[in-house]
């Protein structure tokens, strides 16, 4: 079969022959891949920088996909890190880690949306006690996950959603998605009284923004839940200890490891249903898998998620 194959971590995957998959036991199934999206997590898998990387090569990247079983039924499948991911004509799924999709589900939209929607959906449900009428600040709101987080927070009953990012022009488009206010990352003092921060940025902007926000808080005794989900601006943030001691801030992460895999999977049917019903504004760009090497290095096109079609 053909697949996107990574043979060196410093080169994009190439469209090449790869051995046909064979199921190893009853719980596994060989399926056709219908649509597989290029999430940031897939890029870090393919360049060896993700914390789960074992350094094993060659590998086929891809952590999730919409797949078709031999009976023609569509599933959303989530894979472990494996040498055979989803950017291939066929892959192996574990039956109990896959979710049957509604018959009217659009494979490209579902493949693009579940990972970014799940990031905030699971965080708000499993990492904090989210109360309706909370005020929510999203850092990195112009990305796919941030755009979804605006919509998730509103659907979960947030009273106010403040969208923050680095690009004023892209920020200005977010009120149409439900953001009540937009701020650049150096204006977080103007979001001082929020209850929840959903942070896809980390690095220097978060270190500075957390100080700005907490030092301008009118009531330091008011609970603040800061959820660390992504690290687009860097893996480390130099946070002064005093901001944590001087405020009622709880800092938690949300991702694989801090959320049980069963909890992630348990949310997928509801997320897939919401995506299929059109509850989220999802922007996609479909590209044949044979163009993977070129697509991998093309400039990122705003908020569109690339979806490969094998």
Q: Name the nearest CA neighbour of 4 among 64, 14, 294.
A: 14
Please report how close the Cβ of residue 186 comes to ligand NAP at its closest, in angstroms: 11
Residues that bind ligand NAP (CB under 6 A): 39-41, 115-116, 119, 140, 142-146, 165-167, 170, 200-201, 205, 229-233, 254-255
Q: How far apart are the first and last CA of the chain?
A: 10
- Using the minimum distance from each CB to ligand NAP, give the nearer residue, 27 or 257: 257
Residue 173 DSSP SS3: coil
- Nearer to ligand NAP by C-beta: 13 or 230? 230
Tell me whether residue 41 or residue 90 sits nearer to ligand NAP (CB atom): 41
Count of alpha carbons within 13 angstroms of residue 248, beta-carbon side: 11
* Residue placing its CB nearer to ligand NAP in the complex, 142 or 151: 142
Instruction: Give the chain's radius of gyration (CA, Å).
Output: 20
d(CA 78, CA 76): 7
Region class of 161: left (phi > 0), else alpha (psi between -120 and 50), else beta:
beta
Helix (H, G, I), strand (E, B) or coil at 2: strand
- The count of other CB atoms within 10 Å of the CB of residue 96 is 8
Q: Report the candidate in 139, 279, 268, 297 with the shortest Cα–Cα distance to residue 213.
A: 139
Shortest reach from residue 31's CB to ligand NAP, in Å: 23
Helix residue spans in 127-162 (DSSP H): 144-155
Consecutive H or E run containing 33: strand 28-37
Toward ligand NAP, which CB reaches closer, 21 or 230?
A: 230
Q: Shortest gap between Cβ of 9 and ligand NAP (angstroms)? A: 17
Whose structure tokens read 């074992």?
54
Please classify residue 37 by burial: count the beta carbons closer than 10 Å to its beta carbon, then call 0-12 exposed, 13-18 middle and 19+ buried.
Answer: buried
For ligand NAP, the closer of residues 29 and 128 by Cβ is 128
* Shortest Cβ 205–ligand NAP spacing (Å): 5
In the complex, residue closest to ligand NAP by CB: 143
Nearer to ligand NAP, 31 or 307 (CB): 307
Provide, rounded to whole angstroms, the least separation between the CB of residue 115 and ligand NAP: 5
Closest CB 145 distance from ligand NAP, rounded Å? 3
The minimum distance between CB 101 and ligand NAP, in angstroms, equals 20
């Amino acid at each position: 079969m053909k697949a996107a194959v990574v043979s060196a971590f410093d080169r994009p995957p190439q469209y090449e022959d790869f051995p046909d998959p064979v199921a190893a036991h009853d719980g596994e199934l060989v399926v056709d891949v219908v649509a597989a999206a290029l999430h940031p997590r897939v890029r870090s898998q393919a360049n060896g920088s993700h914390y789960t990387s074992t350094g094993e090569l060659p590998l086929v990247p891809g952590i999730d996909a919409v797949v078709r079983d031999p009976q023609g039924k569509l599933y959303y499948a989530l894979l472990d890190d494996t040498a055979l991911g989803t950017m291939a004509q066929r892959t192996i799924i574990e039956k109990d880690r896959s979710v049957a999709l509604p018959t009217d589900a659009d494979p490209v939209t579902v493949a693009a949306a579940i990972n970014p929607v799940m990031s905030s959906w699971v965080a708000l449900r499993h990492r904090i006690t989210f109360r309706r009428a909370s005020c929510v600040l999203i850092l990195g709101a112009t990305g796919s996950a941030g755009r979804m987080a605006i919509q998730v927070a509103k659907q979960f009953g947030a009273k106010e959603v403040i969208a923050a990012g680095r690009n004023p022009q892209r920020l200005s488009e977010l009120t149409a998605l439900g953001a009540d206010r937009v701020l650049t990352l150096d204006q977080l003092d103007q979001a001082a009284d929020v209850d929840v921060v959903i942070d896809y940025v980390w690095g220097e902007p978060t270190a500075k923004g957390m100080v700005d926000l907490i030092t301008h808080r009118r009531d330091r005794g008011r609970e603040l839940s800061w959820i660390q989900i992504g690290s687009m601006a860097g893996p480390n943030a130099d946070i002064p200890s005093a901001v944590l001691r001087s405020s009622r801030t709880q800092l938690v992460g949300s991702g694989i490891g801090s959320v049980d895999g069963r909890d992630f999977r348990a949310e997928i049917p509801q997320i897939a249903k919401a995506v299929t019903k059109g509850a989220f504004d999802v922007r996609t760009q479909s590209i044949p898998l044979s163009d993977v090497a070129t697509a991998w290095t093309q400039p990122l096109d705003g908020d569109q998620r690339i979806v490969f079609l094998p």
